Structures are given as structure tokens and as C-alpha cells.
């Protein structure tokens, strides 16, 4: 004989991922590392931006990259030329990184390097405008990219990422003169749903706007890093 | 495509609960609340759930989805409004940004229905 029961769960569908993300973040905090999750649609310029950033901040900050890619190591190889640790994670069929995949990357990173020597880890997410924003990976802040070639309406059509972004880079600014695109409209559309986001138009090609982006990185470092956090003996990798 | 991943996440979370139950009961229904302001399409989620639960501990379980509308609250006007997804999010009266979302972001497992063997009385 069977009895029917009812269990009130009242938990987030992404609870398991959230726990993994919190765990990852506690490692970053312990090491005094700030983690930025870099997200955009395919080809908006995440890798190009990271190339410039690694090249120009190399003397000032100790950086590493966790590079998510569906199948290849093409992006990882591009970034390895800048002499920073680049951990490649293949997501297979998944269209975003999740906390468990990034935990694998963090694990590798911690085995090969001394993480306490680092200030900043970029996670380059898989190119997808829809759901990477919902799967936290342990980041302290979300950086979204939208290239001028994608059109002004994208924030309205794919609002979730833009609503959650802490910093929005409007990329490929050098192409704006060739397009029928109004930057003001992009900004206005993003502002409708996100009043706190820092918006910086940039071009990885000409370098325009990059100094503001670097300033934002510097401010995020001092904001999120808890250098003086006591190292918890109970914290262990992969658990 | 992301519904596949959402479903994986859902199954993981339910599995955590299931494994914490001493008698590993048979789950018959999973009740979800899914907001309109998420990247989840209920029909695709249904489909993914059916496919991904086959021959797992959730085989045969039904997914029941309740959708919630996007509702924001404008502090300036002290009133709720319904932003038009894909078109307009700011307050229609004063154009203040959508700052306070009251409904529409939910991705919640409300409850589970399951059957269980009652404990066998000792002779
Ligand atoms: N004109 C111009 N082209 C750019 C700029 N940034 C990137 N690109 C070009 O845009 C294309 C895609 O850039 P990536 O950096 O590979 O984009 P991504 O976001 O890393 O792409 P995925 O990782 O595949 O999602 C490349 O051909 C870049 O050269 C820019 O600022 N200006
Ligand atoms: Zn890339
Ligand atoms: Zn996804
Ligand atoms: Zn108003």
C-alpha cells in the first residue's frame, strides 16, 4: 500500500548551481581574487577585449582567465600569448558555463599556480545573450558586452542579461560611423531596466574607451576583494 | 537550448532533496513557478523534462508549471505596472527605470508530490 505525500520545497530551481557558485566565490575571497564574469552574444568581442586588457594591465595586476568555449581552444590560445594562466573549459553542448564547470577550472588553476599571487580572474563565458546571466559561476560582478552591430533593440529583446549586468561595454565603437546605430538609444534602452549599471563604449581595435574600462576594473578590485579575510581552515576544493 | 540546462539544474536540485529522504520515495509531480522575466519557455521546459527524466529517479513524474507575469513597482508613482517585455520596461507614467521587480523573476520549485511505502509495522 502506498500513501501520497506533499513536500513544500520552496527552493530555487537553480539552487544546486547557486551553492556551487557560492562555494567558488568563497575560494576567490579566501585568495583575495576578484572574479568578473564576461558575457555577450557570440562574437561581440569578449576575447578581443580580454586581449587588450591582458596586454595593457599586465604590469599592474596579476590576472588569469577561465575560458569557456563549446568545443575549441581557439580563444584560450589567443589569450595564452599574453603570458597569463588561461584555463580552458569545454562546455560541450551547453550554451553557458555553470558553477560546476568553473569549479573544475578553479581546481586546475589552484593546482598549477599559487592563487594567492593573483588579483583578478576573468571568466569568459560562452557566447550567448540569453541565459549565462542566470547561471552564476562565483563571480563578484557581471560584465556584459553588446556590440554596435547588434542593434539598439537587443537590451529590450534579451533583457535578463542587461538587467543583471554591473558593467556594460558597448563594443566595436569604431564601426558605429558605418552603421545606422544610435548609441543614445542603446543607453536609453538599458537604463529602462537597469539604473545602476556602468555603461562604457569601447573599441578593442582603436583603444577608445579602454582607459575607462580599466578604471572600472580597478574600482571593482578595491570593492570586492576582501584581502584581510581570515583563511578558513574548513574550506576545501571541490567539496 | 537553455531549457535543457535549466532542466538539468532542476533535476539536480530535486535529486538533492530525494537523496536526503531515507526511503527514496517515488515522485509523481513537481510543481514549479516560472516567471515571465526569465529565460525559460515553459513548453520547452516541459519537453526537456520528459526527455531527461526517462529512466531516472523522476521517470514518469509530471511537471506542473505556473507562470507569473512581470510586475514592477514604481517608487516615484507609488504604483505597480506591467512592463511590456521586448518593448518597454520603464514606468509608463513617469519613465523611471524598472528598479523593483515584484513578480516575474521566479524560478522556484514550490512543492513535490510523492508516494511512499508506509513503515511496515513490526510483528
Ligand atoms: N572593428 C572591430 N572589430 C572587433 C572589435 N572587437 C572585436 N572585433 C572583431 O569581432 C570578431 C569577434 O571578436 P571576438 O573577440 O572573437 O568575440 P567573442 O565575443 O570572443 O566571440 P565568441 O567567444 O565566439 O563568443 C573578431 O573578428 C574581432 O576581430 C572592435 O572593437 N572593432
Ligand atoms: Zn571569445
Ligand atoms: Zn545556457
Ligand atoms: Zn512612475
Q: Which three cell numbers, joined as nine digits, stand for A197?
A: 549599471
Q: What is the pTM of this model?
A: 0.90
For the CA of A173, the closest atom of ligand 1 is: 31
Search chain B and give the residue with CA nearest A128.
B2
Q: What is the CA radius of gyration of chain B?
A: 19
pLDDT tens digits for B11-58? 999 999 999 999 999 999 999 999 999 988 899 999 999 999 999 999
* Residues in chain A, pLDDT under 70: 1, 225-239
Chain A contact present for B9, CB below 8 A: yes
Q: How far apart are CA B14 and CA A59, in angstroms?
A: 47
What's the pLDDT at B119?
63
What's the pLDDT at A231?
45
What's the pLDDT at A44?
97
List the end-to-end C-alpha distance of chain B, in Å, as a whole number. 54
ipTM of the complex model: 0.84
What's the pLDDT at A237?
41
What's the pLDDT at B120?
67
Task: Tell me, in angstroms, the distance from the centre of ligand 3 to residue A176's CA.
Answer: 29
Looking at all shown ligands, the one closest to residue B79's CA atom is 4
**Most confidently predicted of A8-12, B3-7, B88-92:** B88-92
Chosen for mutation from A13, A20, A21, A129 (greatest number of chain B CBs closer than 10 Å) is: A13
- DSSP 3-state of A147: strand
What's the pLDDT at B118?
65
Q: What is the mean pLDDT of residues B86-107?
A: 96
By C-alpha distance, which of A78, A97, A77 is closest to A21? A97
Q: Do A10 and B111 touch (CB under 8 A)?
A: yes
Alpha-carbon distance B7 to nearest alpha carbon in chain A (angstroms): 9
Search chain A and give the residue with CA nearest B98.
A193
Binding site residues of B, as ranges? 2, 74, 77, 91, 94
- Cβ pairs A/B, distance under 8 A: 119
What's the pLDDT at B121?
67
By C-alpha distance, which of A28, A33, A97 is closest to A237? A28
By C-alpha distance, which of B38, B41, B65, B53 is closest to B8? B53
Amino acid at each position: 500500500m502506498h500513501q501520497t505525500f506533499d513536500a513544500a520545497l520552496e527552493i530555487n530551481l537553480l539552487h544546486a548551481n547557486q551553492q556551487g557558485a557560492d562555494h567558488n566565490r568563497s575560494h576567490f575571497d579566501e585568495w583575495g581574487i576578484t572574479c568578473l564574469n564576461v558575457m555577450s552574444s557570440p562574437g561581440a568581442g569578449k576575447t578581443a577585449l580580454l586581449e587588450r586588457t591582458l596586454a595593457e594591465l599586465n604590469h599592474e595586476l596579476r590576472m588569469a582567465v577561465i575560458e569557456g568555449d563549446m568545443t575549441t581552444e581557439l580563444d584560450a590560445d589567443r589569450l595564452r600569448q599574453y603570458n597569463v594562466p588561461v584555463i580552458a573549459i569545454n562546455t560541450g553542448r551547453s550554451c553557458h558555463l555553470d558553477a560546476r564547470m568553473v569549479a573544475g577550472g578553479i581546481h586546475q588553476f589552484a593546482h598549477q599556480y599559487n592563487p594567492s599571487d593573483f588579483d583578478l580572474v576573468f571568466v569568459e563565458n560562452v557566447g550567448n545573450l540569453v541565459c549565462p546571466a542566470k547561471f552564476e559561476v562565483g563571480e563578484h560582478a557581471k560584465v556584459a558586452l553588446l556590440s554596435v552591430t547588434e542593434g539598439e533593440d537587443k537590451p529590450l529583446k534579451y533583457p535578463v542579461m542587461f538587467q543583471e549586468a554591473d558593467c556594460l561595454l558597448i563594443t566595436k565603437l569604431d564601426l558605429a560611423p558605418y552603421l545606422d546605430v544610435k548609441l543614445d538609444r542603446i543607453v536609453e534602452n538599458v537604463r529602462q531596466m537597469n539604473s545602476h549599471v556602468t555603461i562604457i563604449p569601447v573599441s578593442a581595435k582603436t583603444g577608445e574607451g579602454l582607459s575607462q574600462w580599466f578604471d572600472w576594473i580597478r574600482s571593482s578590485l578595491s570593492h570586492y576583494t576582501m584581502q584581510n579575510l581570515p583563511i578558513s581552515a574548513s574550506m576545501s576544493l571541490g567539496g | 537550448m537553455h531549457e535543457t540546462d535549466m532542466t538539468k539544474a532542476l533535476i539536480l536540485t530535486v535529486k538533492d532533496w530525494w537523496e536526503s529522504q531515507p526511503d527514496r520515495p517515488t515522485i509523481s509531480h513537481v510543481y514549479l513557478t516560472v516567471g515571465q522575466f526569465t529565460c525559460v519557455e515553459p513548453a520547452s521546459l516541459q519537453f526537456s523534462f520528459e526527455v531527461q527524466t526517462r529512466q531516472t529517479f523522476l521517470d514518469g513524474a509530471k511537471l506542473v508549471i505556473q507562470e507569473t507575469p512581470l510586475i514592477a513597482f514604481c517608487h516615484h508613482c507609488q504604483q505597480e505596472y506591467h512592463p511590456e517585455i521586448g518593448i518597454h520596461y520603464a514606468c509608463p507614467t513617469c519613465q523611471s527605470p524598472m528598479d523593483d521587480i515584484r513578480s516575474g523573476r521566479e524560478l522556484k520549485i514550490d512543492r513535490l508530490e510523492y508516494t511512499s511505502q508506509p513503515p511496515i509495522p513490526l510483528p
